[in-house]
Chains A and B, each alone.
Chain A
Amino acid sequence: MRRIYMDHSATTCVDPSVLQKMLPFFSEKYGNPNSVHAWGREVRTAIDEARASVARLLNAEPREILFTGGGSEADNLAIKGVAESLSGKGRHVITSAIEHHAVLDTVKWLGKAGFDVTVLPVDSEGRVRVEDFRAAIRPDTILATVMYANNEVGTVQPIRELGEICREKGILFHTDAVQAAGHLPLDVRDLPVDLLTMAAHKMYGPKGVGALYVRKGVRIAPLVHGGGQEFGLRSGTENTAGIVGFGAAAELAARRIANGEIDKERRLRDRLIDGVLSRIEDVLLTGHRTERLPFHASFCIRYIEGEAMLLRLDFAGIGASSGSACTSGSLEPSYVLLAMGLDHATAHGSLRLTLGKDTTEEDIDTILETLPPIVGNLRAMSPFKKNA
């Protein structure tokens, strides 16, 4: 049985070419990049190159990229770092209801620390309304943070419009682009964002390494104090293998975007979405139909529960995910789906299938053959509906 991993929004494999570049940095090139000797200097050079590669992916300057211990840390650094540095100017922060917890919980934490927080609702497709956003801005607003694309439903936000409003009003704008970076072309010279979060493991790089783009001239305070690495904003001896891996992953992503591989992925995604919607009754696509991540398909399948579906799929060799309460390990189904106005029972039937660079047309066809009988079987057991 061919196993089909369809959970690339959760994480991706480290590409073999990326791994090859990382390996020497464990035992061979082990110097501390902050040392002046040859051992240190060769590693410093490698970090500089990785920084340049990540910067190129965003059309940023290397000086504007700082490496962190992952996406969550970069989100924390952006939000707390701006709050700390601008608290004298104002204490109001804006975000959206469907942010990743790394943003949402950080902003809520600021709320406890004396900041005012506005959490904007989203429409049924998961988009922040531009008018709501404009209306939320106050004289004491210092920062808005809205994710580039959502991990659960794939919806891409109107980041340019939101950023332009921030420019006009003179407030800083952060976007969590963990899901988008490496998958959609991003150009920070063109895009009105001041801070942008990335994570290597969502783009065929290693886990535990992320980056924060900080536009030149934007001042933030560090979370981690110490030796002054990463321009004084993230102390600690660098995760050299991880950073080198991130650099290699950024180069791979740039090539994939330039080669049109993303468009190929988008066509496969559409084949999957159209197939699921046409082969299974009482299914809805969650998120926006077109303004969505090119590798992302997500649904709610009525009358059945997500975890049961995931286990049946897993036994059929397909790795998927869900935002049902059973899978989130909480009392409630996904707050993202609820924020989009879905009722609880429907949200419990959520199913997310996220494609990767190695997903083939045959894989999609296998999924389209495997999923309907699983749904039919579980529905036959359901008190709500007998037939798929």
Chain B
Amino acid sequence: MSMYNEKVIQAFMSPKNVGAMENPDGVGEVGNPRCGDVMKIYLRVRDDRIEDIRFETFGCAAAIATSSTATEMVKGRTIEEALKLTNRDVAEALGGLPPEKIHCSLLAEEGIRAAIEDYRRRRQGLPPLPPRHDAVCHHEIPETGEETRE
């Protein structure tokens, strides 16, 4: 099992923004149950600002911790600001993740982007975004410890 730091453990043991949301303005679901992690993000948006955000996550401790931290980081932010959140920001806010868990932070970034995309589609009157379940699992250990994605 991975060695987690105190911050990750804290976020995992007492996660914030947990649970489904009634009548959300946007929903994003990413990951794949086959790979052992699925993240679902719910948004409430007012005046282009994320007024409330919730998550539901099936996954390991790191997946739950990154879901919690990522939602905390974008809550109260504008959509544009939220789109700037990267997996690296989430991992840094958590004081670093074990290399094999970096994909969890990626999932958080993707989940928030998917929810925002869904929000924008709904505003244009398009049908909601279907869950985006990965075709392959991203559990590969990155070559270098913390490098993740450009």
A residues at B contact (CB < 8 Å): 303-308, 310-312, 315, 324-327, 329-331, 333, 343-345, 348, 380-384, 386
> Pick the contact of A325 from B18, B29, B64, B139 — CB < 8 Å?
B139
Residues in B whose Cβ lies below 8 Å from that of A311: 1, 4, 9, 12, 61
The distance in angstroms between the C-alpha atoms of A343 and B36, with both chains bound, is 11
In the complex, residue of chain A having the shortest beta-carbon distance to the beta carbon of B67: A381
> Pick the contact of B60 from A307, A331, A344, A384 — CB < 8 Å?
A307
How many A-B pairs have beta carbons closer than 8 Å: the answer is 80
Please, how many residues of chain B have a CB less than 8 angstroms from a CB on the other chain?
Answer: 33
Main secondary structure of the interface of B (DSSP, over half): mixed
Pairwise interchain contact A308-B35, C-beta atoms closer than 8 A: no
Interface residues of B in 33-90 (CB under 8 A from A): 33-40, 55-64
Pairwise interchain contact A381-B19, C-beta atoms closer than 8 A: yes
4 cross-chain pairs, A with B, having the tightest CB-CB distances, nearest first: A345-B33, A326-B60, A383-B56, A307-B60
Residues in B whose Cβ lies below 8 Å from that of A315: 13
In the complex, residue of chain B having the shortest beta-carbon distance to the beta carbon of A314: B1
Pairwise interchain contact A310-B56, C-beta atoms closer than 8 A: no
The distance in angstroms between the C-alpha atoms of A279 and B34, with both chains bound, is 26
Nearest CB on A from B101, distance (A): 8
> Pick the contact of A382 from B4, B35, B56, B140 — CB < 8 Å?
B56
The distance in angstroms between the C-alpha atoms of A325 and B64, with both chains bound, is 16
> Is B2 interfacial (CB-CB < 8 Å)?
yes
Nearest CB on A from B60, distance (A): 4
In the complex, residue of chain A having the shortest beta-carbon distance to the beta carbon of B38: A383
The distance in angstroms between the C-alpha atoms of A326 and B31, with both chains bound, is 14
The distance in angstroms between the C-alpha atoms of A304 and B58, with both chains bound, is 6
| Given A308-B64, A325-B35, A333-B36: A381 in contact with B57 (beta carbons within 8 A) | yes
> Pick the contact of A326 from B2, B15, B29, B140 — CB < 8 Å?
B2
